[in-house]
Amino acid sequence: MKEHGRGGRFAVIAVPYAWLLVFFLLPFLVVAKISVSEMETTTIKDIVVWKDGALAITARIGNYLLLAQDDLYLRTYASSLAYAAVTTVLCLFIGYPFAYFMARARRALQPALLMLVMLPFWTSFLLRVYAWKALLTEHGLVADAIEHVGLDRALAAIGLIPGPGQLMNTPFSLILGMTYTYLPFMILPLYSNLAKMDLRLLEAAADLGANAWTAFWRITVPLSRAGIVAGAMLVFIPCVGEYVIPELLGGPQTQMIGRTLWDEFFSNNDWPMACAVAVTMVLLVIVPLAIFSRNQAEATRQAA
Amino acid sequence: MRASVANRTFARAWLALGYAFLYVPIVALVVYSFNDSPVPNVWRGFTLRWYAALPEDRELIAGLALSLKVAIATACASVVLGTLAAFALVRYRRFFGSTLFSGMVAAPLVMPEVIIGLSLLLMLVSLQRITEAAFGIGIPERGMLTIWFGHLLLGMAYATVVVRARLQTLNPQLEEAALDLGARPWQVFWLVTLPMIGQALLSAFLLTFTLSLDDVVLSAFLSGPGATTMPLVIFSRARLGLNPSVNAVATIIITFVAVGVVVASYLLARSERRRTLDAALAERPAG
């Protein structure tokens, strides 16, 4: 409201703005700085030093060279992206029909259906991931069911598990855990998008001779694009840097970049290296991040 | 469009399977918490002993106390900052650096938590070094306060989304009418705007409270010696393997959340209906 006066307007913008600058943007600059710094046993050397009347800047790019050359790091980046992509596709495959059927269910039922999707989202994420551990280890409920129908042989054949009966700590358990955790993030934006759709468009398509399938692909899907993008980004970006799920459900072969960063920091105590990993991770997600924020801004503009 | 019987059956089956996927792990957690076996995934009969052992579990109780304190502080501050940010985005839209602002508000929603945790910690460590050089003591010390900073960053982003969605649906004419009738801007906020966005603020409070209560990664980076939150305790046990105490805690948390969410959404739905009715009456043309 313009009537709030300049002082009110200034405070409303400045307080959250300043907070984000100090606690969100500034930390990134610190990380970028440390990633090119040298470490002396316990302290980080300053990269800019005022010495003998001259400004000396020492930036060490050794960490980045190592990241770019070491096979292990490169493979970790590639597999993080691959796991995140597979998870996103699976979430979309399960979530789109799910959200679609929710949005087309009886009006009176929809609040309840929506709440049932939100409820797991409200219960502890950590505990829900932990729950899969019990379900997938030997003699676990889901493990037994999978073995009973012989699905484990198919999974072993496509290389998601090392052999029949070994489901835990494999690419399979990791993908299952990530899909499970992030599915509501896909369903919710899709649902809110699909629920708003003008159904008369479909009637018009039917009047013009399109069958239900054509109408779905040529009207419903294009109209729900913003929901698809929002959902896909909400799944993909956090998945790339996921730490808890690979740590609890992944195995030795499922190295992910979030875990690499964690190990560099907590186990190896190599802060500059951890920072270099963080910077490259940001670079990895910056394009999807830009798509996400543009999509959000567009949705805001349309709603306004 | 009338869906055929086959289509409807398919839709129902898809929804049923989807919900089963979402709920089987939760149900299993609860069921196994009553399992009389040290290996939680093989059923050996009913027991309550894991619950009986919980009050003796010092580590977990201390973690819970800290987590609750941080969660309440996070929820309160997130709602305040989130509301301010939502107002800035919805009401003022274009201002100096507004693109950067909206980007920074949304980024913590998707930014991998390891990055947020690491960068916030290193910034605070740098700050510590500076204050140590200047005053002889390094502040802020790692502990409850620093965990709160991290949770607030995440909580603010979520609170902004919730409050912004509500603000966008508000009819600005109601506020303009109040201004025309001579209300001061702050009166308009307290008497007109706040009651209308009250439910959104409550949702934001509950959401950020649960987020904070659940966070592992940010807490791991930002906690200090002696400041271990409950999720950190649970995580360190879960890492080592299956642990019946985790199932018992899980069941208690799930019960609280389920009851809380059901009650809250019932109350919200009721007051929403009343508010829609009031708004409709208020906006009805006279005569």
Q: Report whether A189 contacts A163 (CB < 8 A).
A: no
Residue (of A221, A219, A225) closest to A204 by Cα position: A219
Co-location of B211 and B124 in the same domain: yes
Neighbours of A89 (CB within 10 A): 14
- Percentage of chain A with pLDDT > 70? 89
Q: Are B24 and A21 an interchain contact pair (Cβ–Cβ within 8 Å)?
A: no
What ipTM was assigned to the predicted interfaces of this complex? 0.84
The single residue listed with the structure tokens 């390891």 is B114
> Has residue A50 been placed in a domain?
no
Q: What is the pLDDT of residues B100-153, one digit of tens each?
A: 888 888 888 888 899 999 999 999 988 888 888 888 777 777 888 999 999 999
3-state DSSP assignment of residue A15: helix
Q: Is a pLDDT exceeding 80 seen at residue A266?
A: yes
B63 near B228, Cβ under 8 Å?
yes
Averaged confidence pLDDT in chain A:
85
**What average pLDDT does range A141-150 have in this prediction?**
85
With both helix axes pointing from N to C terminus, report the angle between A225-240 and A271-303 in degrees, rounded to the nearest 10.
Answer: 170
Q: Which two tokens stand for residue A164?
A: 């029949």
The pLDDT value recorded for residue A1 is: 44
User: What are A11-47's pLDDT values in tens digits?
Assistant: 888 889 999 998 999 999 988 888 888 776 556 666 6
The fraction of chain A above a pLDDT of 90, given in percent, is 27
Sign of the torsion angle spanned by Cα atoms B261, B267, B272, B275: negative
Provide the CATH number for the domain around residue A147. Answer: 1.10.3720.10
Note whether residue B271 is domain-resident: no
Domain that holds residue B117: 58-245
Domain for residue B265, yes or no? Answer: no
**Structural domain that includes position A218:** 70-303
**Domain tally for chain B?**
2
The Cα A93–Cα A35 span in angstroms is: 39
Comparison of pLDDT for B284 and A276, the residue scoring more? A276
B267 domain-assigned: no
Report the pLDDT value the prediction gives residue B76, as an integer from 0 to 100: 96
Whether the link from the prior residue into A164 is cis, omega within 30° of 0, is no
**Token digits for A265?**
């920091």
Facing A122 at nearest CB: one of B87, B107, B261: B261
Contacts of B112 in chain A (CB under 8 A): 237-238, 240-243, 258, 281, 285
Report whether A23 contacts B111 (CB < 8 A). no
**B155 and B238, same domain (yes or no):** yes
Q: Are residues B93 and B20 in the same domain?
A: no
* pLDDT given for residue B212 in this prediction: 93
Q: Same structural domain for residues B89 and B10?
A: no
DSSP string across B135-170: HSS-SSPSSHHHHHHHHHHHHHHHHHHHHHHHHHHS
Show the beta-strand stretches assigned E in chain A: 39-40, 43-44, 48-51, 54-57
Which residues from A are below 8 Å from B85, CB to CB? 16
Find the DSSP H helices in A196-269.
200-207, 212-215, 221-223, 225-240, 244-249, 257-262
| Chain segment A212-243, per-residue pLDDT in tens | 888 888 888 888 888 999 999 999 999 998 99
Judged by a CB distance cut-off of 8 A, whether residue A292 touches chain B is yes
Q: Which amino acid is at A145?
A: A
Task: Round the average pLDDT of chain B to a whole number and report it.
Answer: 86
pLDDT for A265 beyond 80: yes
In-domain check, residue B134:
yes
Q: What is the pLDDT of residue B256?
A: 86
A19 and B81 within 8 Å at the Cβ level: the answer is yes
For residue range A37-79, list pLDDT tens digits in order.
Answer: 877 655 666 666 666 666 666 667 778 887 788 888 888 999 9
**Domain of B240: which CATH number?**
1.10.3720.10
At B188-247, the pLDDT tens digits run: 888 888 888 888 898 899 889 989 998 999 999 999 887 899 999 999 988 888 888 888
Cα distances from A48 to residues A33, A37, A52, in angstroms, run 10, 10, 13
For the cut 60, the answer to whether the pLDDT of residue A3 exceeds it is no
Q: In angstroms, rounded to a whole number, what is the distance separating the alpha carbons of residues A64 and A35? A: 8
Quote the DSSP letter at residue A256.
-
- Any residues with CB less than 8 A from the CB of B191 and at least 6 apart, and which? B178, B183
Q: Which amino acid is at A190?
A: L
DSSP B96: T
- B49 in any annotated domain: no
Q: Is A119 on the interface with B (CB under 8 A)?
A: yes
In angstroms, the CA B217 to CA B207 distance is 18
Q: Do B110 and A199 touch (CB under 8 A)?
A: no
